[in-house]
């Protein structure tokens, strides 16, 4: 058990005490009061830090006492210097002050800079959390404003000033073109003010074209800088049900013009200068609430019968909603039955929302540092999955292989009858027609999911053929390896401009306050089901939590 030797001083008189790391502050304070015949409530006690700055830190509770023990243990010191002063302010002339010295402030500043450089995510800590960290590690309690100013100074020293960070984007775009040729980078100004910037690295573009499913998810998130920028992201899914970020953009505000520009630029980056924009009408809020459950049925309809039944149900609810469905909703883009391409049963943008969580630690950074942090994370992700996929020895990706095995187990309960060379009838709840040559099943789940349905799987098992050969090519290990074959190269910053007072070619956007009250609660995705609340007494649905005072009526049947 570690033992500490205490040199306690009170009005120039020093005395020796001893305690262990398991001692409590009440015990030590009682010993001090006994030695000098003092009233513990009438004195203040401080300890001297064992570093070269000799800073005084107060001891007011057992937590402070344990912090003192921890600091001395860290410095491998067993002698503790304690200063005792009267509560009215009289103290030893050589005891110093609680205000951190300039040297100590410089030391803390250096520590904070080093820590933020090594742990970028720590910059997202709140001011209160940062204050608690300083109190725990250095024993210094600072006002809220000083902690905020200290963080801003440290951030500026690490990432350069926020004003000049936008000008650095021009340098960064040139470095991306130099180190990653084939990448698509566009920066637009509004006069000398930043307006928007688009980034897509060559490895991401090639990965999407060579191996990813041609289906994109888009979303946006607010950045935490003082200029109120918006980060727009595009995400895709690979063959192993993983996510990967194809492109992203920083815009000055979330407007229709910026969204249109972002999607048009994305289309140009992927396929050339084609027009991918189309204006659509929207369904009113009240109609949406009335018809939402039926619209979901229409979206998930696989067959003509399911589609017709759902549309007839919609007509019965609202003629206007039916008119919107047929003429304004682009139904062939989101309905399984009418969709001409492959959708792989992806009905929601949850994949895109993961982009917000993925870049969470970078949202507080200055714009150039944030872009480079995203590049660094993409570079690590590509390398990691490239090394993992190199060890696979299966035809399908692991996650897809598990799904196929589950489908094989379910298909064992179906009855199969052969009609011709390639046509089969499969009987379970319904009669289903399967054509292996055309890769068609009347349930249409094979078309929508890209995986063989249970009817097709039952037929394939009868023909003694490998089921894996009938799975979409995007789910194969070969396609997955092509996706992650191209690396993203590093961006050296040895020639990065470091003079913050230089002539700036591009300045930050003008910060615009958004209309209305600031939103603090995230808008939930429509795919989340709201759980119904039930009263424990009446066993009926409730709108909200409340006290139910209704009388419960019991009915008793009496046999006559």
Torsion sign (Cα): 398, 399, 402, 407: negative
In-domain check, residue 113: yes
In-domain check, residue 276: no
What's the pLDDT score for residue 198? 96
Q: Residue 243 and residue 219: Cα distance in Å, rounded? A: 14
The answer to whether the pTM exceeds 0.75 is no
What's the pLDDT score for residue 126? 60
Q: Are 314 and 322 in contact (CB under 8 A)?
A: yes
Q: Considering its fold, how many domains does the chain have in total?
A: 4
Please determine, for residue 422, whether its predicted confidence score (pLDDT) is greater than 70. Answer: yes
- What are φ and ψ of residue 475, in 5° steps? -95, 5
What's the pLDDT score for residue 279? 36
Final residue of a domain: which of 329, 344, 362? Answer: 329
What's the pLDDT score for residue 112? 58
Residues 79 and 132 grouped into a single domain: no
Q: Residue 471 and residue 453: Cα distance in Å, rounded? A: 10
Q: Residue 264 and residue 244: Cα distance in Å, rounded? A: 20
What's the pLDDT score for residue 491? 92
Residues 19 and 80 grouped into a single domain: yes
Residue matched to tokens 């191209």: 486
Q: What's the DSSP call for residue 510?
A: P
Please determine, for residue 347, whether its predicted confidence score (pLDDT) is greater than 90. Answer: no
In-domain check, residue 7: yes
Mean pLDDT value of segment 395-419: 90
Report CA-CA distances (Å) from 509 to 165, 205, 259, 364, 369. 12, 29, 17, 17, 17
Mean pLDDT value of segment 78-98: 62
Residues 415 and 456 grouped into a single domain: yes
Range of 11-25, 74-88, 239-253, 489-503 with top mean pLDDT: 239-253
Distance of CA 331 to the CA centre of its chain: 31
**Structure-block tokens of residue 375:** 């590049």
Query: What's the number of CA atoms in the CB half-sphere (13 Å) around residue 162?
Result: 17
3-state secondary structure at position 96: coil
Please determine, for residue 98, whether its predicted confidence score (pLDDT) is greater than 70. Answer: no
Tell which residue, 16, 6, 21, has the closest CA to residue 74. 21
Q: Residue 380 and residue 378: Cα distance in Å, rounded? A: 5
Q: Bridge partners of 83?
A: 9, 46
Report CA-CA distances (Å) from 242 to 226, 380, 450, 484. 33, 15, 16, 12
Higher pLDDT pick, 200 / 463: 200
**Structure-block tokens of residue 294:** 């039926």
Q: What is the pLDDT of residues 333-343, one digit of tens each?
A: 677 777 655 55
Please determine, for residue 44, whether its predicted confidence score (pLDDT) is greater than 50. Answer: yes
Give percent above pLDDT 70 in the chain.
70
What's the pLDDT score for residue 53? 61
Mean pLDDT value of segment 360-384: 88
The enclosing domain of 13 has a CATH number of 3.10.20.90
Q: What is the pLDDT of residues 379-388, one digit of tens each?
A: 999 999 999 9
Name the band, by pLDDT with cuts 50, 70 and 90, for residue 246: very high
Residue matched to tokens 């250095």: 138
Please determine, for residue 529, whether its predicted confidence score (pLDDT) is greater than 60. Answer: no
Comparing 94-103, 233-242, 264-273, the range with the smallest average pLDDT is 94-103
Range of 33-37, 336-340, 438-442 with top mean pLDDT: 438-442
Please determine, for residue 88, whether its predicted confidence score (pLDDT) is greater than 80. Answer: no
Q: Residue 121 and residue 365: Cα distance in Å, rounded? A: 9
113 contact partners, CB below 8 Å, separation of at least 6: 154, 157, 158
Instruction: Sort residue 448 into left (φ over 0), alpha (ψ -120 to 50) or beta.
Output: alpha
Q: Residue 87 and residue 489: Cα distance in Å, rounded? A: 62
Cα-based angle 216, 324, 335 (whole degrees, multiple of 5): 40
What's the pLDDT score for residue 392? 93
Residues 75 and 107 grouped into a single domain: no
Q: Are 171 and 377 in contact (CB under 8 A)?
A: no
Mean pLDDT value of segment 249-265: 91
E-only strand ranges, 302-435: 415-418, 423-427, 431-435
Query: What's the number of CA atoms in the CB half-sphere (13 Å) around residue 378?
Result: 27
DSSP string, 20-83: ETT--HHHHHHHHHHHHT--GGGEEEEEE-SSTT--EEEE-SHHHHHHHHHHHHHTT--EEEEE
Q: Where are the alpha helices (DSSP H) in 39-191?
A: 62-74, 102-118, 127-138, 144-159, 162-179
Q: What is the pLDDT of residues 275-327, one digit of tens each?
A: 333 334 455 556 667 777 888 888 878 777 888 888 888 877 877 787 777 76
What's the pLDDT score for residue 437? 83
In-domain check, residue 432: yes
Q: Residue 328 and residue 320: Cα distance in Å, rounded? A: 11
Q: Residue 363 and residue 31: Cα distance in Å, rounded? A: 52
Final residue of a domain: which of 422, 445, 475? Answer: 475
Final residue of a domain: which of 159, 190, 205? Answer: 159
**Structure-block tokens of residue 160:** 């350069």
Q: What's the DSSP call for residue 120?
A: G
What's the pLDDT score for residue 18? 79
Distance of CA 287 to the CA centre of its chain: 33
Q: What is the pLDDT of residues 178-191, one digit of tens each?
A: 999 999 999 999 88
Residues 110 and 78 grouped into a single domain: no
Name the band, by pLDDT with cuts 50, 70 and 90, for residue 68: confident
Residues 15 and 76 grouped into a single domain: yes
Strands in 79-86's sheet, in edge-to-edge order, are 13-20, 3-10, 79-86, 43-48, 56-59
Higher pLDDT pick, 344 / 266: 266
Domain of residue 145: give its range: 102-159
Q: Residue 230 and residue 252: Cα distance in Å, rounded? A: 6
For the beta carbon of residue 189, count every other beta carbon within 10 angstroms: 16
Burial class (CB in 10 A: 0-12, 13-18, 19+), 298: buried
User: What secondary structure, in 3-state letters, does 430-497 show?
Assistant: CEEEEECCCCEECCCHHHHHCCCCHHHHHHHHHCCCCHHHHCCHHHEHHHHHHHCCCCCCCCCCCCCC
Residues 108 and 70 grouped into a single domain: no
In-domain check, residue 534: no
In-domain check, residue 336: no
Comparing 97-111, 257-271, 328-342, 384-398, the range with the smallest average pLDDT is 97-111
Comparing 29-38, 332-341, 437-446, 524-533, the range with the smallest average pLDDT is 524-533
Cα-based angle 276, 278, 279 (whole degrees, multiple of 5): 155
Q: What's the DSSP call for residue 221?
A: E
Please determine, for residue 101, whether its predicted confidence score (pLDDT) is greater than 50. Answer: no
Mean pLDDT value of segment 421-425: 86
Mean pLDDT value of segment 438-453: 85
Name the average pLDDT for the chain. 77
Q: What is the pLDDT of residues 121-177, one digit of tens each?
A: 555 556 666 666 666 665 566 677 777 777 767 666 655 567 788 888 999 999 999
Burial 27-38 (b: 16+ CB within 10 A, else e): ebbebbbeeeee
Q: Are 236 and 219 in contact (CB under 8 A)?
A: no
In-domain check, residue 190: no
Name the band, by pLDDT with cuts 50, 70 and 90, for residue 96: very low
Angle between helices 127-138 and 144-159 (to 10 degrees): 90
In-domain check, residue 297: yes
Mean pLDDT value of segment 510-531: 60
Higher pLDDT pick, 128 / 58: 58
Strands in 415-418's sheet, in edge-to-edge order, are 415-418, 423-427, 431-435, 440-441
């Amino acid at each position: 058990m570690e033992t500490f030797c205490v040199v306690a001083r009170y009005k120039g008189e020093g005395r020796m005490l001893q305690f262990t790391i398991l001692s409590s502050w009440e015990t030590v304070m009682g010993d001090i009061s006994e030695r000098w015949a003092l009233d513990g409530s009438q004195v203040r006690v401080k300890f001297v830090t064992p570093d070269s700055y000799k800073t005084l830190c107060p001891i007011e509770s057992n937590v402070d006492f344990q912090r003192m023990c921890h600091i001395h243990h860290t410095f491998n010191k067993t002698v503790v210097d304690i200063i005792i002063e009267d509560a009215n302010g009289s103290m030893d002339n050589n005891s110093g002050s609680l205000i951190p010295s300039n040297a100590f402030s410089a030391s803390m500043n250096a520590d904070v800079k080093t820590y933020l450089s090594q742990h970028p995510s720590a910059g997202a800590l709140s001011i209160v959390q940062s204050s608690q960290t300083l109190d725990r590690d250095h024993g210094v309690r600072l006002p809220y404003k000083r902690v905020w100013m200290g963080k801003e100074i440290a951030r500026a020293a690490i990432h350069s000033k926020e004003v000049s960070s936008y000008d650095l984007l021009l340098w960064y775009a040139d470095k991306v073109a130099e180190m990653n040729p084939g990448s698509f980078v566009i920066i637009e100004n509004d006069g000398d003010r930043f307006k928007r910037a688009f980034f897509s690295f060559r490895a991401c573009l090639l990965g999407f074209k060579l191996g990813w499913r041609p289906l994109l998810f888009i979303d946006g998130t607010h950045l935490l800088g003082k200029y109120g920028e918006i980060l727009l992201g595009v995400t895709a899914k690979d063959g192993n049900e993983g996510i990967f970020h194809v492109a992203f953009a920083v815009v000055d505000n979330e407007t229709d013009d910026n969204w249109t520009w972002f999607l048009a630029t994305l289309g140009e980056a992927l396929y050339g200068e084609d027009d991918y924009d189309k204006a659509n009408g929207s369904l009113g809020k009240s109609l949406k609430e009335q018809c939402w459950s039926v619209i979901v049925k229409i979206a998930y309809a696989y067959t003509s019968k399911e589609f017709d039944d759902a549309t007839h149900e919609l007509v019965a609810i609202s003629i206007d909603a039916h008119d919107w469905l047929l003429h304004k909703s682009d139904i062939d883009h989101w309905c399984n039955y009418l969709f001409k391409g492959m959708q792989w049963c992806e009905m929601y943008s949850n994949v895109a929302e993961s982009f917000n969580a993925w870049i969470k630690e970078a949202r507080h950074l200055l714009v150039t540092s944030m872009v480079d942090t995203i590049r660094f994370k993409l570079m690590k992700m590509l390398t990691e999955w490239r090394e993992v996929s190199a060890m696979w020895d299966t035809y399908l990706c692991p996650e897809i292989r598990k799904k196929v095995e589950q489908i094989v187990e379910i298909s064992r309960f179906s009855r199969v009858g052969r009609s011709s060379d390639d046509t089969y009838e499969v009987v379970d709840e319904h009669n289903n027609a399967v054509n292996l040559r055309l890769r068609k099943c009347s349930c249409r789940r094979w078309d929508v999911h890209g995986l063989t349905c249970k009817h097709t799987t039952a037929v394939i098992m009868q023909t003694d053929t490998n089921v894996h050969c009938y799975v979409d090519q995007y789910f194969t290990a070969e396609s997955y390896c092509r996706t992650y074959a191209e690396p993203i190269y590093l961006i050296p910053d040895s020639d990065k401009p470091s003079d913050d007072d230089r002539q700036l070619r591009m300045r930050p956007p003008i910060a615009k306050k958004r209309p209305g009250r600031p939103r603090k609660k995230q808008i939930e995705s429509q795919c989340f089901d709201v759980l119904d609340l039930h009263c424990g007494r009446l066993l009926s649905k409730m709108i909200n939590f409340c006290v139910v005072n209704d009388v419960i009526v019991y009915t008793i049947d009496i046999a006559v």
